[in-house]
Chain A
Amino acid sequence: MLAKRIIPCLDVKDGQVVKGVQFRDHQVVGDIIGLAQRYRDEGADELVFYDITASSDGRVVDRNWIARVSAVLDIPFCVAGGICSVEEARVVLAFGADKVSINSPALEKPELIDAMAREFGSQCVVVGIDSHFEDGAYMVYQYTGDVKKTHATSRRTLDWAAEAARRGAGEIVLNCMNQDGMRQGYDIKQLRAVRERISIPLIASGGAGALEHFAAVFKDAHVDGALAASVFHKQVLSVGDVKNFLKQQGITVRI
């Protein structure tokens, strides 16, 4: 059986893992290699590194940390943040990342998804979608990494997810903004709606706070993986706790 994946997400700035308060005042929470190894040892199925150095200041980003991560990790990892072109993706993959995740640049230029899938294969191309429920519809948001730039687009989440899949995305990470950071549970209803529209892997993001939330998102929304950040960073739960609980619930996990 294909195992359901548990995916810790780490924010990286200038090669270190950071934690921000409302996207500001980033504090270093640890060494990137140490944290990556800790999550790997706890049983993480893959890791996502969100490089927040890139988007805000537009300078050339030092990606050497990716090679250091690749050297120690024997599980797959994805790099998100600031990847705006095929060339930028090539650099990230050459450093050893298994996948690249694009979000705002794909909204600016949807053909980027096609171009990256053609160049590297769909399996490398993850499309992240920040979705907000408002006025009875799920709408796509852009530039959510920076409070000042965040804004709604005219795209509907379900349509955009389907378009991204059609253009060659190999996986969708759906970040449900209403739930993000609340630790009240994943947005099952929205995830289920997206699940019904696409037949590529779907990863849930936003809202994990308790063991039951992970079980519910797999049982009720049929997602392929669950991504979480704060619940793991604050050590509310360990990856091992989550996987043991899921196993007890009859959900296939890799232990």
Chain B
Amino acid sequence: MIAVVDSGVANLESVMSMLRRIGAEAEVTADAGKIKSASHVILPGVGAAAPAMAQLRAKNLIDTLLALTQPVFGICLGMQVLFESSTEGSGTDCLGIIPGTMKLLPASPDVPVPHMGWNQITLKKPGHPLLRGVDNNSFVYFVHSYAAPVSDSTLASCDYGTSFAAIASVRNFMGCQFHPERSGAVGSQILKNFLDL
């Protein structure tokens, strides 16, 4: 069973419908026992880092998530909370699994923020199993204002005014800043790769 962590956000349905399309059995849950025993854990999320962390704390899920040894996949804000912190709002401490701080993308008339739309990813570690069958420069769908700097944990980067981590991974934890569930065939390939881990 795949556990989709109920992070209290409104739109989990897009992730669930993608999982159904690729034939995966998943359950939305905030139950620590179910999350621990799941084969794969998906941490979805839209919105802001502080309320997302507050939700995880309120549901007593922080220690559960930190202790997971099965493959864990954060999507968009779900990836952001895997990092150390975010400068969003007055600053938020996150899970600290992946080194680095999420920062606001610099906006300009040529670079509107939020970064919204289809952008290309540059594969930094094309041999990683999460990227199997994914071409360099593939287009995927982004919607975000904060981003993590490129580092050793970066599997793929994206350029938008600045270069940032589009896909990152540390141990069994990985995440993507874009929305695989709305990124056409490329997104579904990445999710299938995750479920094959």
User: By the criterion CB–CB under 8 Å, are A123 and B144 in contact?
Assistant: yes
B183 interface residue, CB < 8 Å from A? yes
B91 interface residue, CB < 8 Å from A? no
A71 interface residue, CB < 8 Å from B? yes
CB-based nearest A residue for B16: A96
Cβ contact of B116, chosen from A73, A75, A195, A224, cutoff 8 A:
A224
Distance (Å) between the CB of B48 and the closest chain A CB? 6
For window 65-92 of chain B, which residues contact chain A by CB distance below 8 Å?
Answer: 77
Number of interface residues of B (CB under 8 A): 41
| A224→B21 CA distance, assembly (Å) | 30
> Contact string, B109-137, partner A, CB cutoff 8 A, digits 1/0?
11011111111100000000000000000
User: By the criterion CB–CB under 8 Å, are B119 and A3 in contact?
Assistant: yes
Distance (Å) between the CB of B51 and the closest chain A CB? 9
Q: How many A-B residue pairs have CB under 8 A?
A: 111
User: By the criterion CB–CB under 8 Å, are B116 and A171 in contact?
Assistant: yes
Known A-B contacts A2-B118, A120-B46; A76 and B141 likewise in contact (beta carbons under 8 Å) = yes
Known A-B contacts A121-B46, A124-B46; A71 and B117 likewise in contact (beta carbons under 8 Å) = no
For window 1-35 of chain A, which residues contact chain B by CB distance below 8 Å?
Answer: 1-3, 5
Known A-B contacts A74-B187, A224-B116; A120 and B17 likewise in contact (beta carbons under 8 Å) = no
User: By the criterion CB–CB under 8 Å, are A120 and B143 in contact?
Assistant: no
B30 interface residue, CB < 8 Å from A? no
Instruction: Report whether over half of chain B's contact residues are helix, strand or loop; otherwise say mixed.
Output: mixed
CB-based nearest B residue for A70: B17
User: By the criterion CB–CB under 8 Å, are B11 and A96 in contact?
Assistant: yes
B179 interface residue, CB < 8 Å from A? yes
A232 interface residue, CB < 8 Å from B? no
Residues on A with beta carbons closer than 8 Å to the beta carbon of B77: 121
Distance (Å) between the CB of A109 and the closest chain B CB? 20
CB-based nearest B residue for A255: B139
Cβ contact of A2, chosen from B119, B145, B179, B183, cutoff 8 A:
B119
Known A-B contacts A3-B119, A76-B182, A170-B116; A67 and B10 likewise in contact (beta carbons under 8 Å) = no
For window 6-27 of chain B, which residues contact chain A by CB distance below 8 Å?
Answer: 9-11, 13-14, 17-18, 20-21
CB-based nearest A residue for B9: A120
Known A-B contacts A74-B188, A199-B108; A98 and B14 likewise in contact (beta carbons under 8 Å) = yes
Range for the number of chain A residues in contact with chain B: 35 or more
> Contact string, A95-129, partner B, CB cutoff 8 A, digits 1/0?
11110000000000000000000011111100000
Residues on A with beta carbons closer than 8 Å to the beta carbon of B13: 67, 70, 94-96
For window 151-181 of chain B, which residues contact chain A by CB distance below 8 Å?
Answer: 159-160, 179, 181
User: By the criterion CB–CB under 8 Å, are A96 and B47 in contact?
Assistant: no
A240 interface residue, CB < 8 Å from B? no
User: By the criterion CB–CB under 8 Å, are A97 and B11 in contact?
Assistant: yes
| A252→B108 CA distance, assembly (Å) | 19
User: By the criterion CB–CB under 8 Å, are B117 and A201 in contact?
Assistant: yes
B107 interface residue, CB < 8 Å from A? yes
CB-based nearest A residue for B143: A123
Residues on A with beta carbons closer than 8 Å to the beta carbon of B11: 93-94, 96-98, 120, 124
A/B interface sample: 15 pairs, CB < 8 A: A1-B120, A1-B159, A72-B21, A74-B18, A74-B185, A76-B179, A97-B11, A98-B11, A120-B11, A121-B48, A122-B114, A122-B145, A196-B109, A200-B112, A225-B117
Beyond A3-B118, A3-B139, A201-B114, 4 additional contacts (C-beta under 8 Å) are A96-B13, A123-B46, A199-B108, A224-B112
